[in-house]
Amino acid sequence: MYKEQFEMEKAEVLLLLKNGGFLKLSQTNPKIFKTFDAENNPLNYYNRCIFNNLIDEKLIIQEAGKFILNVNNFIHFYNN
């Protein structure tokens, strides 16, 4: 995955999370995760490296089996 593609897809995922969406790890393929909108509708699959980056930057947290935006770290991360 190219850096530009990675950054673009990461921005898409963060926008979805900011709008109330969430992430779930794939049950069948450990290399991908799935995005869902706020109404629990499945959207897209993304490469697991984006998920790992969001975890490393502490931008997402797990809540009730879903990964959601960690609002406090998101605001701090983008204000610096």
Q: Describe the crossing of helices 3-18 and 48-56 by its angle, rounded to 10 degrees.
A: 70
Provide the terminal-to-terminal Cα distance of the chain, rounded to the nearest Å: 27
Which residue ranges make up each domain of the chain? 3-79
Looking at per-residue pLDDT, the higher value among 1 and 13 belongs to 13
d(CA 36, CA 75): 22
* Torsional class of 41: left (φ above 0), alpha (ψ -120 to 50), beta (otherwise): beta
Model confidence at 73: pLDDT above 90: no
What is the structure's pLDDT at 79? Answer: 60
pLDDT per residue as tens digits for the range 10-47: 999 999 999 999 999 999 999 999 999 999 999 999 99
